[in-house]
Amino acid sequence: MHQRLIRSLQRGLTLLEITIALALLAVLGTLAVPSLGARLDQQRLYSAAEAMVADVNEARFEAARQGRALHLVMQAGDNWCWAVATQENCPCGQALACELRSAQQRDHAGVRLVAGQTLHLGANGRADASSSATLESRRGSRLRVDVQLLGRPRVCTLNGSAARYPAC
C-alpha cells in the first residue's frame, strides 16, 4: 500500500491535465483583464485628485508661511496642467520663475482636467472665492476638487461610484 502511494505521487501530471489547467487560467485571465483596467483607471483618477488636494494644501501653508498671496492656475483641455504660482497670470507647465510647483497631463496619464478655475489664496491661506476643478478618467468617471473659502480642498464624485469619496 505504501509503495503504491509513492508511485502515484511520483507519476506527476499528464500533458492533458497541464493543458486543461492552462486553458482554465487563460479563460480566467481574460475575464479579469477588463476589471483590472477599470481599477487602474480609477486609481489614476484618484491619484490626480489627491495630487491636486496636496498642492492646494501646500499652497495654503506656503501662502500663510510667506505672508503673500499664491495662486493655483489651471489650464483645462488635452494638454492640461495646473501650477502653484506667485502670479495669477503665470502659465502653468512652462517652468517659469513664477511657478513654484506644477502637474501636467503627462504626470497623470489617462486623466483629463475637464474644467478648472484659478484659485486665489490670500496671505492668510484663505481663498478669495470658492473654486473647483473637474478631473475625468478615460472611462468617463469624474471627480471634482472643491476648495472652500477657508482654502480647504475636498474631493467628491460627480458620476459613477467612488468608494473613497462621497457624491457631490
Structure confidence by residue, pLDDT tens digits, 94-119: 888 889 889 999 999 899 999 998 89
Residues 6+ apart with CB under 8 A from 159: 140, 141, 142
**pLDDT level of residue 8 (50, 70, 90 thresholds):** low
| The three grid cell numbers given for residue 134, joined into one nine-digit string | 473637474
Tell me the pTM.
0.77
**pLDDT level of residue 139 (50, 70, 90 thresholds):** confident
- Whether 72 and 162 have beta carbons less than 8 Å apart is answered as no
Q: In Å, how far are 66, 86, 96, 98, 139 from 53, measured between CA atoms? A: 20, 18, 22, 20, 22
Strand-by-strand arrangement of the 142-147 sheet: 111-116, 131-137, 142-147, 153-159
